[in-house]
Structure 1
Amino acid sequence: MTSQSHEADAMRRAIELSRRGPAHGPNPRVGCVILDASGRVIAEGWHRGRGTAHAEVRALDALSDRALAAGATAVVTLEPCNHTGSTGPCSEALIAAGIDRVVYAVADPGASSSGGAQRLRAAGIQVEEGVLGDEAAENIRPWLTAMRRGTPFVTVKWASSLDGRVAAADGSSRWITGAAARADVHRRRAESGAIVVGTGTVLADDPSLTARDADGRPLDDQPIPVVVGRRSVPRDSRVLAHPAGVIEYPHRDLPGLLASLAERDVRHVFVEGGPTLASAFLAAGLADEVLVYLAPTLLGGPLTAVTEIGVHTISEQARFRFDQVEALGDDVLLVARPLCSTEFATTKEDD
């Protein structure tokens, strides 16, 4: 095998390792594999979350002998950082260890954390960028979007019948979809930094907005619940007991909401409802992806998943492309992305 094929295989493994880290929180999932001169894997590591050692340091610590790092290649899913935060710069750790070559998939978009590749080259280390870049970027797409654009990645979700209804005519909606679909929703909640609903949903359903397992137990990672609307949340609402606290946002300025959540280090926003709020995000062009849990049932009636989004004629339709179709029990999950996306647009003047 060539060194390039060894490195590509190692990058696939590094991406796989990165998924062991938490998707929840402000930091990206990162994996690292260290290869010796023959291309053999001699150590692995991944980032376990905010405040813990980064993947490169984890991999270096996993070496049976630190002397093995001399002349080795570090294969990393994200450009090694070049700043001191809660941990030291990975670029300096790799230099100090004697690593000879660094291969990474995706450049770090952070204003303060980027520059690792330049620092490594200045120290005489060979650096190659872009190995399996598309695959690695997809793996951290919400985080990468948030860092490049300056505002959180936005997922708009709903569950509906075949005819696009989210509730029966009398407003009842539990349950349109089955247990497998609901479990998937809770997993995705736990991977998000914030879950956003309107006051109408709180008043109608009194949701707890927690992420729970199949037995109803809270998961370790909990999104911050955000309630949007001018009506106050009733003091006996279940959401007020949420372990992450509650943000009440009594405005209709959705870009302002996303900016304020970015200041709280929220990278991924999960919009769950109801139709008025989902439609507002869609009409404003703020949805980076749409999740539709589609149940094989018909409800009829007026309560559709989406209301007015500014489409008055067929030529104005908001076009999406399907990115994923997955069977979940008797239901189907459709994941779609807008064709006209602002996913990597930036709000920073100099970018």
Structure 2
Amino acid sequence: MARALALAARALGNSWPNPAVGCVIVRDGAVVGEGWTAPGGRPHAETQALDAAGAKASGATAYVSLEPCAHHGLTPPCADAMERAGIARCVIATGDPDPRVAGRGIARLRDAGIAVEVGLMADEASALNEGFFTRIARGRPWLTLKLASSLDGRIALGSGVSRWITGPEARGFVHGLRARHDAVMIGAGTARADDPTLDVREGHQTPRQPVRIVADSTLSLPLTGRLAATARHQPLWLLHGPGVARDRAQVFGDIGVELLGVPTGEGGVLDLVAAMGALGARGLTRVLCEGGGQLAAGLIRSGLVDELILMTSGKVIGGDGIPAVAAMGATDLGAVPRFVPIEHRQLGPDLMSRWRPAT
């Protein structure tokens, strides 16, 4: 099962809207087939492992990180494929909460006479697919907020210069994060100031580059910037408010940008809860937000941050620098959002820390 989970991890960032699944088929103490969810979600892990095993799947045990599907979608049910292949025993880490599955896969396997065991390494399997589970349970993707700041919590000089706050090891780590997320999101101010590409580089490779998302209520993204220029080669989605100029929207559509309209609140600020719901409806399961400060503050204030990753350098910029999180209007210290640490790691001269919301 540990091997199945390791295979499933290879699909993170590439399998959406499907979960990342791994499957290992064992017969007479030897691995005879293995597979993981292909980019775009198909073929499924089980069918790839069965194809690799061939006739050796008959009488074998299948270790699967998530309950096999039991419904007819674009491909036949994996539970049926296991029955046809002659699998004798199926060990499943955890059930699939998708209403189309939700125990039906387990039931179908048992009805076919296959011995089924559920729960081996369940916690690890649930953690691996927390994005998929979040989309099913809450209707939105899992959100990781990444902040790279100086020792005193600044993301740029007062002039806006931010390259580079952290060193190459930290930046390489962030590209690895991008590769394991379905999408990378930033605010319009960051897009205008930094003109980023938001792709996976720095020695990391991925078969499916992440979707680039910009929270841009008025469609202010420069058409001459690198994001717009590469929209036909790597998906670019703009979250915008109502009432944007029709001709402006048409220009973005003509260059391959997907526009997602969401409601706005006071001051024309995007409703981030609705925005995340729109991303979930489009099938995204894991989104990495890389700032800036206004967007970070809004996501934290809205309770949308599932994990916060802080990259801290030893630089000290001072109070005239731009803060990592913009003003949140806090008046009660006891009521401010609170996170608890779950990991600390040194990356070259910088520190990486991971935090989860306090429960």
Shorter-chain TM-score bucket reads 0.7 to 0.9
How far 1:330 sits from its partner (Å)?
1.2
Equivalent residue runs for 1:209-220 within 5 Å: 209-214=198-203, 220=208
Greater shift, 195-204 or 116-125, is seen at 195-204
Equivalent residue runs for 1:242-257 within 5 Å: 242=230, 243-250=234-241, 251=264, 252-257=270-275
Select 2:195's aligned residue among 206, 210, 213: 206
CA 1:110–1:238 in 2, change beyond 3 Å: closer, same or farther?
Answer: same
Select 2:225's aligned residue among 237, 242, 250: 237
What code does the residue aligned with 2:72 have?
Answer: T
Q: Give yes or no for contact 1:51–1:87 (8 Å, CA) kept in 2.
A: no
Q: What's 1:188 paired with? A: 177
Q: Give yes or no for contact 1:240–1:246 (8 Å, CA) kept in 2.
A: no
How far 1:130 sits from its partner (Å)?
0.9
Select 1:121's aligned residue among 90, 94, 110: 110
Select 2:209's aligned residue among 221, 228, 234: 221
Greater shift, 19-28 or 122-131, is seen at 19-28
How far 1:276 sits from its partner (Å)?
0.8
Q: Give yes or no for contact 1:17–1:32 (8 Å, CA) kept in 2.
A: yes
Supply the distance in 1 between the matched residues of 2:237 and 2:35 (Cα, whole angstroms).
35
What code does the residue aligned with 2:275 have?
Answer: L
What code does the residue aligned with 1:143 have?
Answer: F
Equivalent residue runs for 1:80-91 within 5 Å: 80-91=68-79
Count the aligned residue pairs: 326
What code does the residue aligned with 2:24 have?
Answer: V
Percent of aligned positions that are identical:
40
Q: What's 1:272 paired with? A: 290
Select 1:55's aligned residue among 16, 20, 45: 45
Select 2:334's aligned residue among 288, 309, 315: 315
CA 1:204–1:46 in 2, change beyond 3 Å: closer, same or farther?
Answer: closer
Which blocks of at least 5 consecutive residues in structure 2 are unaligned?
242-263, 265-269
What code does the residue aligned with 1:119 have?
Answer: R
Q: Give yes or no for contact 2:188–2:214 (8 Å, CA) kept in 1.
A: no
Supply the distance in 1 between the matched residues of 2:201 and 2:229 (Cα, whole angstroms).
14
What code does the residue aligned with 1:16 have?
Answer: A
Select 1:78's aligned residue among 43, 46, 66: 66
Equivalent residue runs for 1:1-351 within 5 Å: 11-24=1-14, 25-36=16-27, 38-50=28-40, 52-63=42-53, 66=55, 68-114=56-102, 115-214=104-203, 220-230=208-218, 232-242=220-230, 243-250=234-241, 251=264, 252-302=270-320, 303-340=322-359
Residue deviations 1:144-184 (CA, integer Å, cap 9, x gap): 22223221111111100111111123221111001121122
Supply the distance in 2 between the matched residues of 1:248 and 1:136 (Cα, whole angstroms).
32
Q: What's 2:248 paired with? A: none
Supply the distance in 1 between the matched residues of 2:274 and 2:137 (Cα, whole angstroms).
18
Supply the distance in 2 between the matched residues of 1:177 and 1:23 (Cα, whole angstroms).
24
CA 1:304–1:175 in 2, change beyond 3 Å: closer, same or farther?
Answer: same
How far 1:220 sits from its partner (Å)?
4.5
Supply the distance in 2 between the matched residues of 1:266 and 1:204 (Cα, whole angstroms).
26
Greater shift, 199-208 or 104-113, is seen at 199-208
Supply the distance in 1 between the matched residues of 2:178 and 2:296 (Cα, whole angstroms).
16
Q: Give yes or no for contact 1:155–1:288 (8 Å, CA) kept in 2.
A: yes
Q: Give yes or no for contact 1:212–1:219 (8 Å, CA) kept in 2.
A: no
Supply the distance in 2 between the matched residues of 1:269 and 1:195 (Cα, whole angstroms).
6
Residue aligned with 1:224, SS: strand
How far 1:113 sits from its partner (Å)?
3.6
Greater shift, 288-297 or 244-253, is seen at 244-253
What code does the residue aligned with 2:238 have?
Answer: I
CA 1:202–1:62 in 2, change beyond 3 Å: closer, same or farther?
Answer: closer
Supply the distance in 2 between the matched residues of 1:238 and 1:17 (Cα, whole angstroms).
34
Residue deviations 1:190-246 (CA, integer Å, cap 9, x gap): 33223222222123222233333359x997413232233336223222221232133
What code does the residue aligned with 1:15 have?
Answer: L
Supply the distance in 1 between the matched residues of 2:206 and 2:66 (Cα, whole angstroms).
31
Q: What's 2:253 paired with? A: none
Residue deviations 1:75-107 (CA, integer Å, cap 9, x gap): 100001111223211100111122121110111
Residue aligned with 2:134, SS: helix
Residue aligned with 2:323, SS: coil
Q: Give yes or no for contact 1:22–1:48 (8 Å, CA) kept in 2.
A: no
Q: Give yes or no for contact 1:152–1:269 (8 Å, CA) kept in 2.
A: yes
Which blocks of at least 5 consecutive residues in structure 1 are unaligned?
1-10, 341-351
How far 1:116 sits from its partner (Å)?
0.3
What code does the residue aligned with 2:182 have?
Answer: G
